Amino acid sequence: MDSIYIFSALILLCYFVIFFIIGQIVNNNSIVDIAWGLGFVIVAMSTYFIKSDMSIRSTLLTCIITIWGVRLSLYIGKRNIGKGEDYRYVNMRKRWGTTLPRLKAFLNVYVLQGVLLYIIAQPILIVNYNVNTDLKLLDYLGLTVWIIGFLFEAIGDHQLRKFKLDPKNKGKIMKYGLWKYTRHPNYFGEATMWWGILLIALSSKLNLLIIISPTIMTLLLLFVSGVPLLEKKYKDNSEFIEYAKITNKFIPGFPKKK
């Protein structure tokens, strides 16, 4: 099994080096956000065609990873391209100073995301390496959980984009549709998808160590790169403060009464 780990690591290294070079050419490190979803697609597709037995389970997992990854990268690309570097990466540049900024960008942005992607992608490697039998109950349960997560992320993103495109909503807080039940339906959806993927992987091989995959994704979204950064941006916004009082941060629920 070591071969699939080495193979995937090398694929990801080459992939993120390419994006690093592009990022330096366009002077925009936030291009790595576009690379995130597609990176999982690269891992899934390459291991599927080269290492897997192309069983129903491998095909299922590779397809749902591809659907999610392509949609996410297209959405982020459409949102970000032509708008300059994201404020998060601008702030990183300021913290780095002028000493070896490109090396710091490579290590702190591209290598870091590559390592995280590699760890989170472990369920994909488990499924595409092992000889798979017919689908089991866990597979169907995992697919159901994944579909719920995908709908939350895709619909949440669509609703937010539509809201922001309306000039009348400039400076306002999105709190309608799925955003009425959770302040971050897209992040909740992404975490939920990875718990579904875990169930599919566990039906292939009982390896509880891969629970680290959805756990890391959930913790990143809740405490590092997702929810905290966005909520910090709106911490002084009175409308957001009122919205936060009645709306769950992550797990959907009915609005609280004031």
Average pLDDT, integer, range 144-169 = 96
- 181 and 245 in a single domain? The answer is yes
Over pLDDT 90: what percentage of the chain?
Answer: 76
pTM (2 decimals)? 0.92
**What pLDDT is recorded for position 197?**
97
**What pLDDT is recorded for position 53?**
83
**What pLDDT is recorded for position 250?**
96
258 pLDDT higher than 80: no
Contact 191, 210 (CB under 8 A): no
**What pLDDT is recorded for position 237?**
92
Domain total of the chain: 2
Q: What is the Cβ-side half-sphere exposure of residue 200, based on CA atoms within 13 angstroms?
A: 32
- 151 and 113 in a single domain? The answer is no
177 pLDDT higher than 80: yes
The band of 1, judged by pLDDT with boundaries at 50, 70 and 90, is: low
110 pLDDT higher than 60: yes
Q: Exposure of 174 by Cβ count < 10 A (0-12 exposed, 13-18 middle, 19+ buried)? A: buried
- 3 and 127 in a single domain? The answer is yes
- 248 and 143 in a single domain? The answer is yes
Average pLDDT, integer, range 55-75 = 96
Residues 6+ apart with CB under 8 A from 255: 180, 181, 246, 247
- 108 and 147 in a single domain? The answer is no
Residue span of the structural domain in which 53 resides? 1-131
- 122 and 172 in a single domain? The answer is no
